[in-house]
Chains A and B, each alone.
Chain A
């Protein structure tokens, strides 16, 4: 069975600094998607970034980028130039490329941004 592990329950970062959130996963599949979702206090989950496992190039979305290490089954999120609005829970998630479309989520990392 697939699992997703986020070992950092909470992280803090100074405004304008860079922070990296860690995620590891376990799967026997070769094709899959990995995601980072943001959940602010409003509870609305927002997709931050996704990575297709078959792509070697790391995904980037503005200030957000990932370090995808397929062999190590590691998928970390880097937030550059942190802003107060980045404060939220961040969840790492996995989904198979085909077949069942069940998503597996990690337990989340709470990010605090310090002014």
Chain B
């Protein structure tokens, strides 16, 4: 079946603009994660959705970052007033219930000029 998909694959934006990154999880997966991977760094947890529960937003670095998950499926990560330090690869992952196994998407490379 289809894996986790993310769009766009690459995004170049000017400093100060807003961007939206999209994640389509595997059908039936109730858990969805967003991570940020800066150059030379590991994966930084951003936010976690599980079913209808309130999301765990503890990793969002500032109030310029927000995420939604509509209908328990597709998720959008929004970064407002982008800064150069927001340049990174943004990875999405999904899992079934509380299963330990995450399935990752290919990521979106965001470049802020």
Whether a CB of chain B sits under 8 angstroms from the CB of A91 is yes
Contact across chains for B33 and A45 when beta carbons are under 8 A apart: no
Interchain CA distance A109-B7 in the complex, whole Å: 27
Cα A98 to Cα B100 with chains together (Å) = 10
Number of A-B contacts (CB under 8 A): 55
Complex contacts, A47 vs chain B, CB 8 Å: 101-102
| B57–chain A nearest beta-carbon distance, Å | 11
Number of interface residues of A (CB under 8 A): 24
Q: Which residues of A contact B31 (CB under 8 A)?
A: 101
In the complex, are the beta carbons of A100 and B43 less than 8 A apart? no
A55 contacts which chain B residues (CB < 8 A)? none
Interface residues in chain B, defined as those with a beta carbon under 8 Å from any beta carbon in chain A: 31, 33, 35, 40-45, 48, 50, 56, 58-59, 89, 91, 93, 98, 100-102, 104-107, 109
Binding site for B on A (CB under 8 A): 4, 6, 33, 35, 42-47, 50, 91, 93, 95, 98, 100-108
